[in-house]
Structure 1
């Protein structure tokens, strides 16, 4: 038979429980360095926002200018009326859809993945600006002298200047053939800086240099934007078939410049991947074929893309490529075994990738 509790034992248990209650942790008094470590694990920015909202000490431990690494969101832009534009973001990490309604009517230029800001123009007055869709912060952008305003090639961090940079490309005028031109702008500058004679597609921005491919020859022209001069040229990868139809994509991946060729092999897509190899100073830079990108994950949209480190995102495998098929299907390509998996996605139209931020 179980022993009956005596009066003294019951009193001891109550005393012990009272002692535990009296020593309960005040979570607002956790050490700031511990809180900061916790905040750096919140790879869904919505959780980072909730973390900062707990109390003052938690907010101070997680400054908005030092957020945790963020997995890119998928973007769908819908226009329901002349007065509002709705943006839907799909977070692969949480599986949630975030819907944001812009305060006024905007027309967004979506042609490449973007970091932190989207390039938009007001449909009422035509003024262009960078818009952070999470905070609604706007940065005025001077008008650009390019047909149709050009197409954004890169919106994101500038490792040379330590700020942001916007790179666009397009045509200078209506002459035939139209001259190709690119322009770049930094938020503290008064106007765009133009560079003529660049290739026609695809393009990428990498360490202060503009990589531009010639669609006909496959040659990569590398332009130093600080001098506006041609730094060097890179011949097409050896052994490539110039008659094979597909997409050439340029991506800065983990500090390396990659060139990918996406094409149909049988009934499914396949990727040939090349890394820019510099060798010593006496060698000419060249494309070297690789079969592994390590811990990196690529997120592609037609001719451009971005890259993140898989180890920052538990549950995500490196050496993979996420790409958009016909703007309708989200697919994952495993570089290791060459398999493709169509992933569930609640968005109807898949426009681009966007890396969220609060500044």
Structure 2
């Protein structure tokens, strides 16, 4: 049998193959093989256009107009192609980055992986100005979504209206049959948490957002887990909503003696809850010692001091406390959390939670003061908290 050149494969076969690719990087690499492969599949860049306002307000819609634009960001572990698998994830050989693709011209924004803060220029001389896909190995660790208001005229609203109209977090659930090609698909659903703490949903074909009538609960986080949306409120009470009907039902009762902030993490097919407890502060961490109290102008603001981790027991409808994460690493960000194994990527501390907090400070003598909004590392085994800069070999992973 004569061999067929790759460039001469049938378009139908290429399209069927592309549907089985699981990441954006795979899609881009697939399209880079040759001209016929490139035109066989669309890159499908977001944003999606969603209705504004999120909570129906005819007066605002008529006088202001506009839409929500949903942008996708992806967290990657970026390593040189010549580094061994499971190695090189240090300041000398790898970076944890969040990338937002804004347009089909392949220009991207580089963001802090645990927040949505834009990195205007890389602080590392070793970080490449151009990311050639053939020179690096990309490991996709998670996705985050950003809703931006695109208005036709300036928007002026009261504080109450701002809480009701705008969205703090949104997640996208694509079709199971077409998990990557989102922008051209009409089979997806969006779940969102409003700044007021309400929970809303949208899918193509709906006239507007569906808001869950669930007062007085204020939701703090929502994730997509095994084909369903699961949201948790401040007490730890969690509800599950079907992706098609958006009917919500209780999946976990509140936590006794719970903390002040709840964040959900998908890990190895299980759903975990990270509960944050606060002490008065702020606290300053130095590279030589773990915790040092100080006086700043912040006026006694709270500082994340410890965490508890729970795993969802669906059958018992409760959160079960977990004392150890094993070799897992939890990354708990402002709007998105994810996990991976420390065995797969060296440089990350096993059984630990990496987190951000605006009052987590590192005292930098060379800068003559406090550098806020650093990355903290909570060790679940001994309960210690240290800043990432305490680990010299890995302080520039972010």
- TM-score, normalised to structure 2, is 0.47
Structure 1 match to 2:353: 321
Mapped contact 1:153–1:167 kept (Cα < 8 A):
yes
Is residue 307 of structure 1 aligned with residue 323 of structure 2? no
Mapped contact 1:256–1:276 kept (Cα < 8 A):
yes
Mapped contact 2:76–2:142 kept (Cα < 8 A):
no
Q: Which runs of 5+ in 2 are unaligned?
A: 1-5, 8-16, 45-73, 78-95, 101-107, 115-123, 131-140, 156-160, 178-186, 280-289, 292-303, 359-371, 389-393
Q: Which of 276, 287, 301 does residue 319 from structure 2 map onto? A: 287
Mapped contact 1:209–1:223 kept (Cα < 8 A):
yes
**For residues 1-359 of structure 1, what are the structure 2 equivalents within 5 Å?**
53=32, 55-56=34-35, 71=76, 87-90=109-112, 96=127, 115=143, 117-122=145-150, 124-125=152-153, 147-158=163-174, 163=188, 165-171=190-196, 181-187=198-204, 189-198=206-215, 199-207=217-225, 208-213=228-233, 215=234, 218-225=235-242, 226-232=244-250, 234-238=252-256, 240=257, 246-264=260-278, 267=291, 269-279=305-315, 284-294=316-326, 296-302=328-334, 305-310=336-341, 314-315=345-346, 317=348, 319-326=351-358, 328-339=373-384, 340-342=386-388, 344=395
Mapped contact 2:98–2:113 kept (Cα < 8 A):
no
Mapped contact 2:97–2:111 kept (Cα < 8 A):
yes
Bigger mean CA deviation after superposition, 334-343 or 53-62: 53-62
User: Would the alpha carbon gap of residues 165 and 329 (structure 1) be closer, same or farther in structure 2, given more than 3 Å must change?
Assistant: same
Structure 2 match to 1:32: none
Mapped contact 1:296–1:320 kept (Cα < 8 A):
yes
Structure 1 residue 305: deviation in Å? 3.2
Q: Which runs of 5+ in 1 are unaligned?
A: 1-26, 29-35, 78-85, 100-112, 128-144, 172-179, 348-359
User: Would the alpha carbon gap of residues 254 and 297 (structure 1) be closer, same or farther in structure 2, given more than 3 Å must change?
Assistant: same
Deviation digits for residues 58-81 of structure 1, max 9, x if unmatched?
86999958xxx953766699xxxx
Mapped contact 2:75–2:143 kept (Cα < 8 A):
no
Structure 1 residue 276: deviation in Å? 0.9
Mapped contact 1:75–1:90 kept (Cα < 8 A):
yes
Structure 1 residue 289: deviation in Å? 0.8
How many residue pairs align between the two structures? 254
Structure 1 match to 2:369: none
Which structure has the greater CA radius of gyration? 1
Task: Supply the distance in 1 between the matched residues of 2:224 and 2:232 (Cα, whole angstroms).
Answer: 11
Deviation digits for residues 25-55 of structure 1, max 9, x if unmatched?
xx99xxxxxxx9xxx99x995x985786475
Mapped contact 2:328–2:351 kept (Cα < 8 A):
yes
